[in-house]
Structure 1
Amino acid sequence: MALWLISYDISDNRLRREAVRALADAGAVRVQESVFEGWFDHRGIAALRLELAGIIDPATDSVCAWPLTGQSVTRRIGSSAPPARAPSHWIV
């Protein structure tokens, strides 16, 4: 599991709201107006990528995602802490 930084540039308001909902539903946390962070494994980020690809208009919009390394996370300056890591298992 890795911490991913995801940003978007989506021109249509309705599509932007759908993308924001998809990101939030996937567990990503908004850190700026069009920037989210979230912990994803390979399968999770691939599923999110497919979902977002189905939402945006590729002729006018873009979504970018970058995995952050441990060094990237520790270089953060300011009060915003990375989102808590999602549990890797559940005990019910």
Structure 2
Amino acid sequence: MAEEMCSHQPQACVGAFFKMEVEDEHLAPVVRLKLLAYNLHLVETRKEKGFTQGELAQLTGIPAGRIGEIELLRRVPTPEEAEEIASALEKPLEWL
């Protein structure tokens, strides 16, 4: 369940990680790996586009501190934030 959730709904995956809602303790490492991959994917793409966190913040209207928290997995992006980030990085929302 958690593995499928992480594949199709990374926001729910992040939320599960923060709330520790992973019922099966054997799936917890899968959730953590998915989160790390999500983080790496986001940061690498931002850097490939040549954006700093501040520049991405300006493009999206999301405060730079919040961009940093999202990248560090300290905050789950809202659906609106996810849309703004995907748009600024010229990626489909599903990419996030």
TM-score range, shorter chain: 0.3 to 0.5
TM-score, normalisation: structure 1: 0.34
User: Under a length normalisation based on structure 2, what TM-score does the superposition of the two structures give?
Assistant: 0.33
Query: Which of the pair has the greater relative contact order for Cα pairs under 8 Å at 6+ separation?
Result: 1
Higher-helix-fraction structure: 2
Richer in strand (by share): 1
